[in-house]
């Protein structure tokens, strides 16, 4: 059982569903996010097993303090889900502002590095544990007008494999989940760019063979499995949960 977990991006979507599911299964859950209102909603949904922590994953010192607080208040840490992320659907590399490139890489790739860096000593102290990084189908294949997002998510797959090589032998398993389209505020956000969205939908028509978007709970279930002892021989695995988007 996952007893003491930290979930980033816990104020919304997949992160919230993951925090709620882990708590339902008996874990105490440190819920980390930059959004205080969403965090309060998640904490209210979970009840006394939730520890809300407002924190920006791009801020190394703030992450170190928040992870330290989580480990102190939960009496240790066994599991980490790096879910926080932002979409980026802003144009090709010639159009993308360097500041936007840096912002997306800082949240989606450097964020999980910060959190994992702070958490690993606590997982070690617990005698082992598990980390799940949430990438995307766009870490495995490309997407129109999203170079920063695709690079950040492909980078997170590389980071997962590197961490698995370094930490599996000390009992810390590191895996990656690559969701396809999931019904969350992030997916709705592409409505802000209707012309790009229409071009991308036309390009990828037929890729999602499930014929529907995923539900946050379906991604949360995969994350919870990978964090659990049932996945005890899995490390360095890249698990697509994408309605066969990347199968062909």
Ligand X SMILES: NC(=O)c1ccc[n+]([C@@H]2O[C@H](COP(=O)([O-])OP(=O)(O)OC[C@H]3O[C@@H](n4cnc5c(N)ncnc54)[C@H](O)[C@@H]3O)[C@@H](O)[C@H]2O)c1
- Catalytic residue, chosen from 113, 138, 149, 245, is 149
**Applying CB under 6 A, which of residues 43, 134, 159, 227 lies at the interface with ligand X?**
134
- Closest to ligand X by CB, 9 vs 129, is 9
- Closest to ligand X by CB, 7 vs 126, is 7
Stretch that binds ligand X, among 45-53, 165-173, 182-190, 224-232 (CB under 6 A): 182-190
| CA quadruple 145, 148, 153, 154: dihedral sign | positive
Nearest approach in angstroms of CB 171 to ligand X is 26
CA dihedral 138, 144, 148, 152 (to 10 degrees): 10
**Applying CB under 6 A, which of residues 25, 40, 56, 141 lies at the interface with ligand X?**
56
User: Per CB under 6 A, does 60 bind ligand X?
Assistant: no
User: Per CB under 6 A, does 57 bind ligand X?
Assistant: yes
**Applying CB under 6 A, which of residues 62, 96, 187, 196 lies at the interface with ligand X?**
187
Q: Count residues binding ligand X (CB under 6 A).
A: 28
User: Per CB under 6 A, does 86 bind ligand X?
Assistant: yes
User: Per CB under 6 A, does 14 bind ligand X?
Assistant: yes
User: Per CB under 6 A, does 33 bind ligand X?
Assistant: yes
- CA angle 49–18–79, rounded 5-degree value: 70
Inter-residue contact 227 to 5 (CB < 8 Å) = yes
Is 130 in the active site?
A: no
Looking at the annotation, which residues are catalytic?
149
Contacting residues toward ligand X, per CB under 6 A? 8-9, 11-15, 33-35, 38, 56-58, 83-86, 107, 134, 136, 179, 181-182, 184-187
């Amino acid at each position: 059982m996952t007893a003491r977990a930290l979930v980033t991006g816990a104020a919304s979507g997949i992160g919230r569903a993951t925090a709620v599911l882990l708590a339902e299964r008996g874990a105490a859950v440190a819920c980390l996010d930059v959004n205080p209102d969403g965090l309060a909603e998640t904490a209210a949904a979970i009840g006394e097993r939730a520890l809300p922590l407002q924190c920006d994953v791009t801020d190394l010192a703030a992450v170190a303090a928040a992870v330290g607080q989580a480990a102190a208040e939960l009496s240790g840490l066994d599991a980490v889900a790096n879910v926080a992320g932002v979409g980026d659907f802003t144009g090709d590399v010639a159009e993308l502002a360097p500041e936007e490139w840096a912002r997306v890489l800082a949240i989606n790739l450097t964020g999980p590095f910060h959190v994992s860096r702070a958490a690993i000593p606590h997982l070690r102290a617990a005698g082992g544990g598990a980390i799940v990084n949430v990438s995307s189908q766009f870490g495995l294949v490309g997407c129109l007008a999203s170079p920063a997002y695709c690079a950040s998510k492909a980078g997170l797959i590389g980071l997962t494999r590197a961490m698995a090589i370094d930490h599996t032998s000390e009992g810390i398993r590191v895996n990656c989940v690559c969701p396809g389209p999931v019904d969350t505020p992030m997916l709705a956000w592409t409505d802000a760019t209707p012309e790009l969205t229409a071009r991308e939908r036309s390009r990828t028509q037929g890729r999602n063979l499930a014929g529907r978007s995923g539900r946050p709970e379906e991604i949360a279930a995969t994350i919870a499995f990978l964090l659990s002892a049932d996945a005890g021989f899995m490390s360095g695995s890249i698990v697509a949960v994408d309605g066969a988007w990347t199968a062909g």
